[in-house]
């Protein structure tokens, strides 16, 4: 359904336009690429890649932005707005917000030292969001490996290669103390830290994230090359330096089929890049709206046609509907 040529005649420069906005954003925010690929992931896992995550709260939309995995965590929305505005100036009403997220994800990887690939395009934008599904479908940092596997299978990805390759996106970006603090002092009510966490890293993380401290303090997901898209994430797992429990489990769960995949990606960056591209394309193909389904939003934050509902007070709304 999706095609690399979807905008060839209607918006041939769309990728360059998005890349330019991204490069500009990078100048003041080295983390922005990581934040943007995460938006694409959190979009695709909830009713497919339909830009549902970009919709703001209204009287009829329960924004996914306030689902637990996104709230005070998902970021980059202003840069997506800038991309959309730039694309609209060149090709009004043509390019979906879902495709902008897809292109931004790929360009973010390429600009950070990772592989570039050909994006498949032609997604359209949803007219709904689903906060409940965002809470149910998105994996959490304290999930067991079995739970992580379930979440990937549940959306139609496989629970070994896709899971391990896509987790490799934690080669860049940041996480807040609250997402890994369970590992530091009293892991699973044992009174001890997570035994699969390197003791040197444990001491550093305890300093950064003391018990009762500020849970929103940030640290690097990849302790070796924090801003480079490379395969060091997998090397970190081999030396017990995965930041999140969900990262370290891929390597440290006894008997898991994911351990061998971590070892391959750690020893062979080309193999990681190749698998990552395949899995990103598979993720980008999850339940896209195509043809005349959905719409091309003119503003990524709201559905077309009733753009001022959320700015109206409820009494004004009542007045209008009574006419
Ligand atoms: C396998 C299950 C996964 C879990 C449990 C997970 C969980 C998390 C958590 C807890 C954070 C930190 C959020 C915060 O502290 O605000 C994070 C950040 C991030 N995740 Fe994941 N994630 C997973 C898979 C993925 C996938 C598949 C991708 C992309 C393909 C991805 C890309 C990222 C990136 C790039 C960041 C850093 C974002 C930033 O710096 O703004 N993650 N993830
Ligand atoms: Ca979605
Ligand atoms: Ca890295």
- ipTM of this predicted structure: 0.99
Phi, psi (5° rounding) for residue 37? -65, -35
Tell me: pLDDT of 317 over 90.
no
Q: Over the range 55-92, which residues count as b (16 or more CB within 10 Å of their CB) and which as e?
A: beebeebbbbbbbebbeebbbbbebbbebbebbbeebe
CA 307 – CA 298 distance, rounded (Å): 10
Which residue's alpha carbon is at the smallest distance from atom 30 of ligand 1? 166
CA 184 – CA 192 distance, rounded (Å): 8
The secondary structure of the chain in percent helix, strand, coil, rounded to multiples of 5, reads 50, 5, 45
- Span 219-272, pLDDT tens digits: 999 999 999 999 999 999 999 999 999 999 999 999 999 999 999 999 999 999
- Enumerate residues lining ligand 1, CB below 6 A: 31, 34-35, 37-38, 41, 73, 75, 139-141, 143, 148, 166-167, 169-170, 172-176, 179, 221, 244, 246
C-alpha dist (Å) from residue 288 to 98, 113, 155? 9, 28, 12
CA 75 – CA 57 distance, rounded (Å): 16
Tell me: pLDDT of 183 over 90.
yes
Question: What is the CA(221)–ligand 3 centre distance, in A?
Answer: 8
Which residue's alpha carbon is at the smallest distance from atom 3 of ligand 1? 139
Nearby residues for ligand 2 (ion, Cβ within 5 Å):
43, 46-47, 50, 52
Tell me: pLDDT of 320 over 50.
no
Which residue's alpha carbon is at the smallest distance from atom 27 of ligand 1? 166
Question: How many alpha carbons fall within 13 Å on the CB side of residue 323?
Answer: 5
Q: State which of 39, 167, 219 you would mutate to test the pocket of ligand 1, scoring each by most atoms of that ligand within 8 A of its C-beta.
A: 167
Which residue's alpha carbon is at the smallest distance from atom 35 of ligand 1? 34
CA 234 – CA 168 distance, rounded (Å): 7
Dihedral sign of CA atoms 149, 150, 151, 157 in order: positive
What DSSP line would sit under 127-166, residue for residue?
S---HHHHHHHS--TT--HHHHHHHHHHHT--TTHHHHHH
Identify any residues that bridge with 195 across adjacent strands, giving them in sequence order: none
Polymer length of the chain = 323
Q: Pick the closest to residue 285 from 154, 166, 120 (CA basis).
A: 120
Instruction: Indicate the angle between helix axes 269-284 and 97-111, nearest 10 degrees.
Output: 170
Q: State which of 111, 170, 246 you would mutate to test the pocket of ligand 1, scoring each by most atoms of that ligand within 8 A of its C-beta.
A: 170
For residue 220, the surrounding DSSP H or E stretch is: strand 218-220
Greater model confidence, 306 or 298: 298
The question of whether 170 is a catalytic residue gets the answer: no
Phi, psi (5° rounding) for residue 281? -65, -40
What's the chain's average pLDDT? 95
- Span 139-171, pLDDT tens digits: 999 999 999 999 999 999 999 999 999 999 999
Average pLDDT over residues 5-15: 98
- The pair of structure tokens assigned to 312 is 């109206």
Instruction: Indicate the angle between helix axes 145-155 and 245-252, nearest 10 degrees.
Output: 100
Q: Pick the closest to residue 134 from 119, 148, 151 (CA basis).
A: 151
CA 95 – CA 7 distance, rounded (Å): 8
Question: What is the CA(126)–ligand 3 centre distance, in A?
Answer: 33
19, 42, 127, 131: which one is catalytic?
Answer: 42
């Amino acid at each position: 359904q999706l095609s690399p040529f979807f905008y060839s005649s209607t918006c041939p420069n769309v990728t360059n336009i998005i890349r330019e906005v991204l490069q500009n954003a990078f100048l003041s925010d080295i983390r922005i690429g990581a934040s943007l690929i995460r938006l694409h992931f959190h979009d695709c896992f909830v009713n497919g890649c339909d830009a549902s995550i970009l919709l703001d709260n209204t009287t009829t939309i329960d924004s996914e932005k306030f689902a637990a995995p996104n709230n005070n965590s998902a970021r980059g929305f202003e840069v997506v707005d800038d991309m959309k505005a730039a694309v609209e100036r060149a090709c009004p009403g043509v390019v979906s917000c879902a495709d902008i997220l897809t292109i931004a994800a790929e360009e973010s990887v390429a600009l950070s030292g990772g592989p570039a690939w050909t994006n498949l395009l032609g997604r359209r934008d949803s007219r709904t969001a689903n906060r409940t599904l965002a809470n149910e479908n998105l994996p959490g940092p304290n999930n067991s490996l079995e739970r992580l596997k379930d979440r990937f299978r549940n959306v139609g990805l496989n629970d070994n290669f896709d899971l391990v390759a896509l987790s490799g996106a934690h080669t860049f970006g940041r996480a807040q103390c609250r997402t890994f603090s369970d590992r530091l002092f009293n892991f699973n009510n044992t009174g001890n830290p997570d035994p699969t966490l390197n003791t040197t890293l444990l001491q550093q993380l305890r300093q950064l994230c003391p018990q009762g401290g500020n849970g929103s303090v940030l640290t690097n997901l990849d302790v070796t090359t924090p801003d480079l898209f490379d395969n060091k994430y997998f090397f970190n797992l081999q030396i017990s330096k995965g930041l999140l429990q969900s990262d370290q489990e891929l390597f440290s769960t006894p008997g898991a089929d994911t351990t061998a995949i971590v070892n391959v990606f750690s020893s062979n960056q080309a193999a990681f890049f190749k698998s990552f591209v395949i899995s990103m394309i598979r993720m980008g193909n999850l339940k896209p709206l195509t043809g005349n389904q959905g719409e091309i939003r003119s503003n990524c934050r709201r559905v077309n046609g009733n753009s001022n509902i959320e700015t109206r007070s409820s009494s004004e709304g009542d007045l209008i509907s009574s006419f």
